[in-house]
């Protein structure tokens, strides 16, 4: 019998005192060198994170005390969207009063949080009055008809400045698009209007919706309602913020790598990314360039109350809603629960905070005690490649990369010249957008050996999850490894979004669910 490492086909012995040691194979030595390099880079990465956070804390302290959103005084703002709709059609509340309450709340929180970039206040009030007039008329539909055909009748909602609302700006946070106006409603907005909902405002995003802090050179930075020193996530960050601050009962976001779920996480609300192909991506900017990108992208609901998720999702899915069986009662005793506390140690990704792991354990204990369902812990090794798999799926074969997008698809940005302009305070782009463009320029190429290999691994991972989950499985996984970072901190931990990005690669539905606050008073959640 031989206990030597697998792969050593030819052995030689070297002497060290009285001990005979086998020489390593070239493959084993290479593997150990790579592991050592990863460990060193990991230590350096953690050190950079700690130093950067310390510097940012010092700067924040110098600038003054942290602030949170003002308290809610109008009780109308505490209702769910479905409850508001119920009260409006039963004439317990008027749509005009509801819309007015949210307008006043937005005006109250906007100076502190900077979550909205445009409003439709006058138009929304006119629509609300029409709803109220209809209910007063002799031709008013019955409560039952309204509940079925217009389940959000008279209820205001907001959406991010990427999803088209007719005759409103659609900048996607790109300076050169400051005068761009949507000619028509995106399909999702059209469906919401058909359900009786009223658009109220547009919310802030990251530049071209490609970063997980909502900040751009057009509208500035959106701040977290729990602590304005911290970020709101991106790219649907303004949307997550306004919902958490009770400036809207319901929102529509979009998600290509976590843009619904990270803002939901950082702001303590619910956010759902639907299965691929279930909700139309029509009317969103920037639109996908390839089928692979389009499969990653999804439009979905964001809200403060869980009961609003299925109602809104049913509206957005339109003709495909029957496929989701949203009205079917779930037998919890038959649900199979699987979980992972982290990604297994992905390179240059922050470790998961112990508080997040403890919150997940409380959820698992609840399922076991309340529903007698014992969860199974998984070790899906391919999740350590989440970032690479997502980047492979985002790669375009027509060289329509981020430098092309930064020109509003009118050419290609001279990245190096733009870096110089940025240092001279002359650029209309954020630093992170320029770094993203540079990173992509020297990154993976479509059709390369690495790209082909990672695309195949994406398919293999999807099949692995399909086999595990079946028709009645749930996978619990952290939405993000930490609570909301401080402003600019994502620059020092850029790959932490991989926890959400991998779910886009799989095309599976995912819901970010609030699990309370951590010791710093910031929200923490999980993905289901």
Whether residue 4 is predicted with pLDDT greater than 60 in this model: the reply is no
What domains, with CATH codes, occur in the chain?
A: 67-324 (3.90.1300.10), 396-442 (no CATH)
Q: Are strands 220-221 and 336-339 parallel, antiparallel or unpaired?
A: unpaired
CA–CA dist 94, 156 (Å, integer): 12
Are the C-beta atoms of residues 25 and 33 closer than 8 Å to each other? no
Q: What is the pTM of this model?
A: 0.91
Q: How many residues does the chain have?
A: 528
pLDDT tens, 22-53?
Answer: 566 776 777 777 677 777 877 888 888 889 88
* Cα separation, 155 vs 169, whole angstroms: 22
> Does residue 119 or residue 4 have the better pLDDT?
119
- Residue pair 301/309 in contact by the 8 Å Cβ criterion: yes
Model confidence at 8, pLDDT cuts 50, 70, 90, reads very low
Contact predicate 99/128, CB 8 Å: yes
Q: β-pairing, 473-478 with 336-339? A: parallel
CB-count exposure of residue 124 (10 Å: 0-12, 13-18, 19+): buried
The whole-number average pLDDT for the span 417-423 is: 97
Which residues have a catalytic role annotated? Answer: 160, 235, 259
Separation CA 402–CA 176 (nearest Å): 15
Q: What is the per-residue pLDDT for 57?
A: 86
| Exposed/middle/buried for residue 183 (C-beta within 10 Å: 0-12, 13-18, 19+) | exposed
Is it the case that residue 79 has pLDDT exceeding 50?
A: yes
List the Cα angle 411/412/413 in 5-degree steps. 130
User: Which position has the token pair 């992170």?
Assistant: 432
d(CA 471, CA 465): 11
- CA–CA separation, 261 and 85 (whole Å): 25
Note whether 133 and 246 are within 8 A (CB).
Answer: no
Q: Which of 14-23, 337-346, 355-364, 423-432 has the lowest mean pLDDT?
A: 14-23
Q: Is the pLDDT of residue 20 over 60?
A: no
Chain centroid offset of residue 512 CA? 9
Strands 336-339 and 376-377: parallel
- Looking at residues 288-298, what average pLDDT do you find? 90
Decide if pLDDT at 347 tops 90. Answer: no
Indicate the average pLDDT of the chain: 92
Three-state SS for 216?
strand
Please work out, in degrees rounded to the nearest 5, the angle formed at the alpha carbon of residue 456 by the alpha carbons of 5 and 463: 90
- Kindly state the tokens that stand for 316: 């957005």
Q: Name the DSSP letter for residue 230.
A: B
| pLDDT above 80 (res 379) | yes
| Separate counts of helices (H) and strands (E) for the chain | 18, 15
Task: Measure the CA–CA gap between 309 and 499, rounded to whole angstroms.
Answer: 22
161, 204 in Cβ contact below 8 A? yes
pLDDT, residue 61, reads 86
Q: Which single residue is written with the structure tokens 């009260």?
A: 87
What is the pLDDT at residue 7? 37
Q: What is the pLDDT of residues 438-456, one digit of tens each?
A: 998 888 989 999 999 999 9
Report the SS3 class of residue 13: strand
Whether residue 197 has pLDDT greater than 80: yes
pLDDT digits (tens, 9 = 90+) for 131-190: 999 999 999 999 999 999 999 999 999 999 999 999 999 999 999 999 999 999 999 999
The Cα 234–Cα 116 span in angstroms is 14
Contact 115, 203 (CB under 8 A): yes
The H-assigned helical ranges of 402-518 are 402-405, 415-423, 431-441, 449-469, 498-506
Strand order of the β-sheet with 156-160 is 116-119, 198-203, 156-160, 250-255, 298-303, 270-273, 510-517, 523-527, 473-478, 336-339, 376-377
pLDDT tens readout for residues 321-330: 778 888 888 8
């Amino acid at each position: 019998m031989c206990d030597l490492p697998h792969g050593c086909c030819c052995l030689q012995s070297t002497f060290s005192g009285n001990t005979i040691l086998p020489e390593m194979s070239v493959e084993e030595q290479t593997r150990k060198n790579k592991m050592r390099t990863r460990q060193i880079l990991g230590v350096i990465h953690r050190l950079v994170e700690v130093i950067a956070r310390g510097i940012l804390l010092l700067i924040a302290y110098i600038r003054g005390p942290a602030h949170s959103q003002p308290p809610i005084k109008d009780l109308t703002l505490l209702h769910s969207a479905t409850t508001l709709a119920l009260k409006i059609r039963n004439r317990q509340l008027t749509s005009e009063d509801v819309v007015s309450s949210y307008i006043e709340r937005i005006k109250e929180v906007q100076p502190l949080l900077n979550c909205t970039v445009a409003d439709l206040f006058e138009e929304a009030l006119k629509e609300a009055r029409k709803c109220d007039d209809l209910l007063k008329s002799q031709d008013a539909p019955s409560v039952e008809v309204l509940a079925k055909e217009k389940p959000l009748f008279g209820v205001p909602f907001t959406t991010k400045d990427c999803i088209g609302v007719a005759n409103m700006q659609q900048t996607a946070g790109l300076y050169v698009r400051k005068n761009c106006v949507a000619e028509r409603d995106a399909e999702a907005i059209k469906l919401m209007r058909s359900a009786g909902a009223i658009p109220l405002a547009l919310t802030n995003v990251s530049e071209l919706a490609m970063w997980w802090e909502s900040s751009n050179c057009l509208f500035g930075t959106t701040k977290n309602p729990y602590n304005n020193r911290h970020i709101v996530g991106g790219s649907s960050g303004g949307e997550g913020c306004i919902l958490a601050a009770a400036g809207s009962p319901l929102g529509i976001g979009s998600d290509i790598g976590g843009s619904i779920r990270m803002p939901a996480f950082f702001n303590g609300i619910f956010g759902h990314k639907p299965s691929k192909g279930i909700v139309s991506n029509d009317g969103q900017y920037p639109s996908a360039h390839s089928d692979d990108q389009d499969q990653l992208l999804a439009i979905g609901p964001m809200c403060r109350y869980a009961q609003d998720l299925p109602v809104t999702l049913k509206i957005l899915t339109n003709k495909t809603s029957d496929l989701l069986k949203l009205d079917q009662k779930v037998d919890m005793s038959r649900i199979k629960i699987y979980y992972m506390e982290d990604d297994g140690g992905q390179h240059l990704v922050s470790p998961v905070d112990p508080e997040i792991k403890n919150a997940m354990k409380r959820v698992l204990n609840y399922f076991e005690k309340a529903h007698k369902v014992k969860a199974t812990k998984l070790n899906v090794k391919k999740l350590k490649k989440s970032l690479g798999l997502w980047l492979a799926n985002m790669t375009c074969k027509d060289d329509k990369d981020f430098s092309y997008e930064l020109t509003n698809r009118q050419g290609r940005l001279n990245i190096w010249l733009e870096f110089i302009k940025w240092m001279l305070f002359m650029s209309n782009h954020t630093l992170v957008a320029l770094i993203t463009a540079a990173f992509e320029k020297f990154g993976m190429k479509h059709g390369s050996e690495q790209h082909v290999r990672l695309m195949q691994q994406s398919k293999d991972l999807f099949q692995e999850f399909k086999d595990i989950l079946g028709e009645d499985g749930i996978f619990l996984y952290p939405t993000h490894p930490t609570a909301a970072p401080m402003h600019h901190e994502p620059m020092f931990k850029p790959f932490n979004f991989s926890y959400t990005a991998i779910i886009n690669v799989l095309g599976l539905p995912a819901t970010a669910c609030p699990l309370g606050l951590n010791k710093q008073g910031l929200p923490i959640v999980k993905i289901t």
